[in-house]
Structure 1
């Protein structure tokens, strides 16, 4: 099992832009021009959907490879009707609700009907999707000692 590593996010004074550093790789996250961002990268919701979709595709790839099935490619298309800027504006007063994500799968390869059905079933078992569906609690960690004001 992979070692847990920190993901570090830095947001400076540039409007809505943040940088995510994970495993030595950097991703710029931003908002579209119409909400005041510079559209320099995916939005936070894009990354959320990307995490679900990538995990789904990787789960299906691993399973098909283990079984020796002729899965050539997986395309996962996800969509949701959420607007990050509107959610932020209402984050204190809005009631908590359930967000729905619609998923389409395209499985390419010379697969039998049974193999396609099994892969479609397994798409619901990706660990990221399961984590989100079971409930995710983000807790405040103690402030690092070197960040404390003396």
Structure 2
């Protein structure tokens, strides 16, 4: 009887598993709401989000100092980038609080496992662009690109 019950429910279980989708970036995509946006964050937080986020959401890896973290990245993605948000993972370690470096964000969106600090329209966006883009330019020059 147990075997027959298992066989009878297998198709619906298989459908449920197929329809369930691992999507760690769903909250980030909802926040972006179709806008073309560029943000930054630390390696272990932004790598999975970058893999699953919509194509209009670009994420750049940075150190806790907002200097480019050139590990497994295309440095060309940083050229002329205009980052306006910071993704802060629940396990990230920032030696200086993000708000101490960039000032208060325009908004903070809480997602499961990370928060989105939106600096669009604030002076923090200019600091992000300067620190991230300039540091990537310096790395490219050091490496002869």
TM-score, with normalisation over the residues of structure 1?
A: 0.22
TM-score, with normalisation over the residues of structure 2?
A: 0.22
The structure with higher relative contact order (CA 8 Å, sep 6+) is: 2
Higher helix fraction (1 or 2): 2
